[in-house]
Structure 1
């Protein structure tokens, strides 16, 4: 009985996910959705670059404060 309930829940979630994706695709259109995903990927990459730069700067500051040379 538990398996049937979990199966029904999984099917329901799958149907909801497909409806949301279809709705978003109709709202943005095929090219708009691609642009939105591409923009999101660019933003994530830019954020990762900023974090890496900050980590490098902080490491340099710590090394200078401790007097440790590379």
Structure 2
């Protein structure tokens, strides 16, 4: 009698355990759960890449400063020289008319006003 009760209880426990495992796995395989898992993994990967990139940038900056110090020592430069003022170049020499518009632009538009360039016009 006790032997049958033991095996019956063991079977019931195994059935409950298997049903719970299967239901848990089915919940993990739903589209919503898969999407949430993928989003979490993507966020974690992005954070890891960001951390590595920041670490790499800091290493590069430190090594750059160290190399600049070595070069300054080798060249005998110990203070920052005064930099010359930046040069300014005019893209177009603008002789402005009374209206404030550059003359070459006024000339361009005034010549268009004198001549018709309508392609649909009969000649």
Shorter-chain TM-score: which interval? 0.5 to 0.7
Structure 1 residue 58 displacement after superposition: 0.2
State which of 33, 38, 42 in structure 2 corresponds to 1:33.
42
Runs (4+) of structure 1 exceeding 2 A deviation are none
Which entry has the higher C-alpha Rg, 1 or 2? 2
2: CA distance, partners of 1:53 / 1:31:
33
Q: Select the structure with the greater relative contact order (CA < 8 A; seq sep ≥ 6).
A: 1
Distance 1:29 1:51 in 2: 33
Q: 1:45, CA displacement in angstroms? A: 0.9
What are structure 2's unaligned runs of at least 5 residues? 1-33, 80-123
Question: Does 2:64 match 1:64?
Answer: no
- 2:62 and 2:43 map into 1 onto residues whose CA distance is 29
1:45 is aligned to 2:58? no
Distance 2:50 2:67 in 1: 26
**Structure 1 length as normaliser, TM-score?**
0.57
Name the structure with the higher helix share: 1
Structure 1: give runs of 5+ residues left out of the alignment: 1-24
CA RMSD of aligned residues (A): 1.8
